[in-house]
Every structure is written in C-alpha cells, then in structure tokens.
Chain A
C-alpha cells in the first residue's frame, strides 16, 4: 500500500510468513512490510478480522507480529535485522510470553 520515493542504500534479507524479501535497512518492520505492499499483519482477537498497523508510533498495538519466535512484538517499534523471520498472528489471544 506504500511505495518508496527514493533509492535504497543498503538492504537486509527478511521473511514474512516464510516468504523471503529484501528490504531497506534502518527502518521498522512495519515500514518494511508496508513498502512491500503487505499491510494485514494479523487477525483481530475477538472477531477474527484482518488488521493492519494503524498508528506507526507504538500506541495502538495493531501491528503485533511474531519475530524470531517471540510473539506480540510491535512491528512499528522494531528495526529490521538481516535474517529476521516475521510471521503474522491470528485470531484468539495466544498464551504469550509477555504479560
């Protein structure tokens, strides 16, 4: 749903739900995925409806994803790293490691 207006300087390799992609460094996971045309990162916990990042500043928690096996990470507050494995979360509240 977004496109970049300038050329990337450096890229890293990440995966989203197993799909490999190269994205610019020094940006958040949300921005990287939005730049790849991916906006729906999870399903809502009650109605199981698609949800996308909403505030991009750490307030709304709509961007929760699993990163390298750790659930409920805020994609908009996490910077991409080479080799990062990101997956979408769906449906009912999972028993998470956070609190």
Chain B
C-alpha cells in the first residue's frame, strides 16, 4: 500500500469519510490510523512536504548532512514512513480556507474549501480532524518590527528547510523549551550565538516545584538538563531578564535588556524571540467550535472531549492545535482522534477499534507526565503577555501601540471585536493572529476581568486571503458573501 499523492485540487474525490488538515505528527499519524481502519482518507496540508513544525523537511534531510537537528527530530522518519505507506490520499501545498459543518442525508458532515496551485475546490467529508499545530506566542517588545528580528521558530525553519544559518552576531531571547533546543542546534550548525537572554521569571521555579515528581520520570528531564548545561558552557546566558528593547535605524543593530537589576546592551546583527507556543486555532475559531481559556498555558484552545471531539459533531481536533502537549503527545493524539472518528463512522467496528483506542489513551497518559511542571516553569512573564511599555507596537499590521490599547481598555471597551472596529488592531493582513493573545491579556489586565470572559477575535472565512477569481469559481456561502462585501459587523 502506498500513499496516493495528488497534485491537482480538481482531482480530489467529491467525498471522503475523513479529511485531515495538517501533516505534522498528529495529522500523519491520524491518516495512517484512519486508513488502516478502512476509512477513505484525505490529508490536506499547506506546506510543500510532510512533517509539520517539528519534523519540517524530514523527507529531504538526513542525519549524515544535518546531524545537529538531533535525535528527537529523526524520530519523524518512522512516522513519515508509516504515512508514506498508508492507504490515504495526500494533497500538499493546499490551504483549507473554510470549513462548514452541515448535513448529508440527516447526518452531520463537513464541506471544506481548499486552495492549491491557484485553484480552489470544494471537498466533502463525513468527519474532519483539525491537526493544524501550534504557532509562536507573540513577544511584543520595542523594536520587534525591525528587519533583523524574527522568531526563534522562524530561524529554526530556515535551518531545517534551507540549511540557512543567521550571519553575524546572534542573540536569542525569551523562554520555553525551544529556546535552549534551538541555541544548541544553532551552535552545532556553526552560528555565532553571542548571548541567550532567558526571560523565565525566577518565581516560576517555586511555583513549578510541587509538580516536579511526575516530571522526574519524564523523558524530557535529562534531555532538558543536558541542553541547559551544554548551552551554558558555550555562551553567556543571562537569566531573569526583565525588559528587552531592540534598536536600529532600518534594521536591528543592538539589544538592550535588564538582568539582575543591571541594564546591559549588546551589538547584534540579528535577534530571535520566543515565548513558547499556542494552539493555531484559526480554523476551529472560524468554523465556530467553542474555545476556552487554558489558564496554565495562557491561551485559547478548542473545547474537546478526551478523544478530540469538538463542540461541533463532525469536527475533531488533534495535536498542538487542540492544546499544547508536544510532538509525541500530538502523534498519539492524532491516532486517538482518527480512531474516535472511525468509531463514530463505523459503529460495527467497535471490537476492532476499541482496544486500539484504549492502548493509545494509555500511552498518552504516560507521555503527558510532567507536562504540568513544564507549563508552570515556562509560563511566560506577564511583562511579555500584557506589556506596559506604551510605545511598543502590539498589532504589527496596523501599527497599533500598547498605549492605544490600554487607553481604549480603560474606557470600557467590551471586548476584542469592539476594539478592532475602534483601533483597527486585528484588521490587517494577518487577521489578528499576531496580536490576539496580547489584546486579550491587556484587556484582562486593565479591566481586571478573566481572559475567558474577555474572549478572542472572532475569525472569518476565508481564514487567509484567497484571490477573488478563485473565490468566485465556487458557490457562495453567507460567510463568503460577507468576506467579499467586507461586512465586518461585530459578532461577539
């Protein structure tokens, strides 16, 4: 059996049992599992090759050429192999820009709108799994819009997919497991890393300590410690870093920060920022799945049952897109959601699917041990979640500052959607992806309300701009009409 790679959006079947969106560990594992259970399965992914974030470009990379990517990266080869051998269909470079839950013959089903190669098409499926992964949390600091400043994830993508290493003097700043993982990868790849600025609040250690015991048996413990020691031996690491500011005329040339009560400044050619990852819930949001606030991870995520079922009957969510758990949990989560969907589709296969589900659920429990410790330790400092420096740009697209948002918040704006009409924040090209977390947390801070109560921007379809001629080639839905006529009336 081999995967059927499709290269034209018009060659897709009209209907599948299961559509999976995203070819990271969750999506690849979900496809293999669903195909094995006999479901007619299609996997759609925006990237040109399978792998998602962690295993990006896994097909082309080899340990001989890029050993520095590390053992955890090469684990992707096994998941990839199973995916390439499964009886599913796969369309790469395909953006799913709208999903609507509907009904076929009285049963729930979904309609997906997909754009690939400059053409759009409609695909019907009886169930869909969103395996859309994570994105990096924004880290708004002064000067973060200057060329020469990118995210750590971006630098890692350049390294994994194109073998690019930043030239000149590099500083990494932020918090979270990826900070030290990438520091190590960069050093091994020959990058000139001059400093690591760790913004993890010192007080997090005391808060995380009660959760240490389960973490002691986690496979992440030794790896994490080894990385820390290794990086600290090679590069100056500043801990407890408070404020950060990047300077430069037309590009970044220096970074200033506070650590241990002192202000330091370092000349740089580039700086890479990171404050952990949050679920990429664009599709879930635009489709109307209920979202809830995860207060430990400080992010909105779709409300799911233990098997990935969302609030909408035909929609499942797996992997980091449903809640941050890391690559191994994402993979097993993909299997569980796919099997749960198959169980709903083929109740007659309960005897075959039931034991598999039980096995994977057990494995997930084992893999999730120690997560609370990691989440608590790496909970980003409030200074970067709800910044107070009034000059800092919060919405990069429309250049709306923290000051303007705090001002409006103090005048009792009800929520993010109203703020959007007032200040245009979240109205730019990124549709609010880059500022939504900051907006929610600033509103919550100023108005002393819970982020859950504040809410998040309501996203619309198409979740990314689709050329008008592609759009017009498909039958219109109410959402589509709204998108074209530009009616942005507040729905919150």
Residues of chain A whose beta carbon lies under 8 Å from any beta carbon of chain B: 1-6, 24, 26-28, 31-32, 34-35, 37, 39-40, 44-47, 49-62, 64, 70, 72, 77, 79, 96-99
Within 8 A of A (CB), among B455-492: 462, 464-469, 471, 483-484, 486
Name the residue on B nearest A26 (C-beta): B60
Check A46/B467 contact, CB under 8 A, given A1-B167, A60-B430: no
In Å, the complex CA distance between A79 and B162 comes to: 12
Q: Which of B154, B163, B250, B434 is close to A56, meaning CB atoms less than 8 Å apart? A: B154
Interface size on B, residues (CB 8 A): 55
Bound Cα distance A6, B165 (Å) = 10
Contact with A along B387-424 (1 / 0, CB 8 A): 00000000011110000000000000000000000000
Q: A97-B469, A98-B465 are in contact. List 6 more A-B contacts (CB 8 A).
A: A1-B167, A4-B164, A4-B165, A24-B162, A27-B162, A52-B149
A18 to chain B, nearest CB (A): 20
Report yes or no: B151 in contact with A72, Cβ–Cβ below 8 A: no
B164→A57 contact, CB < 8 A: no
Interface residues of B in 246-265 (CB under 8 A from A): 250-251
The one of A3, A62, A79 in contact with B167, judged by C-beta atoms closer than 8 angstroms, is A3
Whether B212 sits at the interface, judged by CB under 8 Å, is no
Bound together, the chains give a CA A60 to CA B388 distance in angstroms of 22
Contact B136 A55 (CB under 8 A): yes
Does the CB pair B399–A2 fall under 8 Å?
Answer: no
Residues of B within 8 A of A61 (CB): 397, 428-430
Pick 15 A–B contacts, CB within 8 A, sort by A: A1-B270, A2-B166, A6-B66, A26-B48, A35-B164, A45-B398, A46-B398, A46-B399, A47-B399, A54-B151, A54-B154, A56-B158, A59-B433, A61-B429, A99-B465
CB distance from B67 to the nearest CB of A (A): 12
Main secondary structure of the interface of A (DSSP, over half): loop
Contact of A34 among B136, B164, B280, B434 (CB under 8 A): B164
For A39, what are the chain B residues with a Cβ–Cβ distance below 8 Å?
147-148, 251
CB < 8 Å neighbour of A57 from B154, B251, B429: B154
Whether A1 touches B397, Cβ cut-off 8 Å, given contacts A72-B429, A97-B467, is no
**Which residues of B are found within 8 Å of A58, using beta-carbon distances?**
46, 464
Task: Say yes or no: A45-B397 contact (C-beta < 8 A), given A4-B164, A61-B430.
Answer: yes
B residues near A53, Cβ cutoff 8 Å: 150, 154
Tell me if B343 counts as interface (CB < 8 A to partner A).
Answer: no
Asked if A60 contacts B433 (CB within 8 A), the reply is yes
B70 touches A (CB below 8 Å): no
> Quick check: A57 and B135 within 8 Å, CB to CB?
yes
Q: How far is the CA of A34 from the CA of B157 in the complex (A)?
A: 12
Closest 4 CB pairs of A and B: A52-B147, A61-B429, A98-B465, A56-B154
**A24 CA to B146 CA in the complex, in Å?**
26
A47: which B residues are within 8 A, CB to CB?
399
- Asked if residues B151 and A51 are in contact (CB atoms below 8 Å), the reply is no
| B66, B151, B167, B468: the one within 8 Å of A99 (CB) | B468
> How far apart are the CA atoms of A7 and B366 in the complex, in Å?
42
Q: Which residues from chain B contact A34 at a C-beta distance below 8 Å?
A: 158, 164
B136 cross-chain contacts in A, Cβ below 8 A: 55, 59
A-side contacts of B165, CB under 8 Å: 2-5
Q: Mark B122-162, 1 if CB is under 8 A from A, else 0.
A: 00000000000001100000000111111101100110011
Instruction: Establish whether residues A44 and B167, one from each chain, have CB atoms under 8 Å apart when the complex forms.
Output: no
Residues in chain B near residue A32, CB distance under 8 A: 162
In contact, A51 and B48 (Cβ under 8 angstroms):
no
Interface contact A1-B468, CB-CB below 8 Å: no
A92 CB to nearest B CB, Å:
12
* B269 in contact with A1 (CB, 8 Å): yes
Instruction: Select from chain A the residue with minimum beta-carbon distance to B48.
Output: A79
- A45 CA / B466 CA spacing, docked (Å): 20
B53 within 8 A of partner (CB):
yes
Nearest B-chain residue to A79, judged by Cβ: B48
Q: How far is the CB of B422 from chain A (nearest CB, A)?
A: 15
B250 touches A28 (CB 8 A): no
Chain B residue, CB-CB nearest to A27:
B162
Complex: A57 Cα to B162 Cα, angstroms: 13
CA of A82 to CA of B399, assembled, Å: 35
A28 to B270, CA, bound (A): 20
* Residue from A28, A51, A57, A64 having most chain B Cβ neighbours under 10 A: A57
Bound-state CA distance A4–B269 (Å) is 16
**Smallest distance from the beta carbon of B381 to chain A beta carbons, Å?**
21
Q: How far is the CB of A3 from chain B (nearest CB, A)?
A: 5
CA gap between A2 and B269 in the complex, in Å: 10
Q: Are A54 and B149 in contact (CB under 8 A)?
A: yes
Report the minimum CB–CB distance from A57 to chain B (whole Å): 6
CB of A99 within 8 A of CB of B483, answer yes
A59 to B431, CA, bound (A): 9
Q: Find chain A residues with CB under 8 A from B465 CB.
A: 72, 96, 98-99
CB contact between B148 and one of A1, A45, A77 (< 8 Å): that residue: A1
A5 surroundings in chain B (CB, below 8 A): 163-165, 189-190
Which residues of A are found within 8 Å of B462, using beta-carbon distances?
Answer: 99
Q: How far is the CA of A55 from the CA of B471 in the complex (A)?
A: 26
CB nearest to B136 among chain A residues: A55
Q: Which residue of A lies closest to B484 (CB)?
A: A99
A96 to B471, CA, bound (A): 14
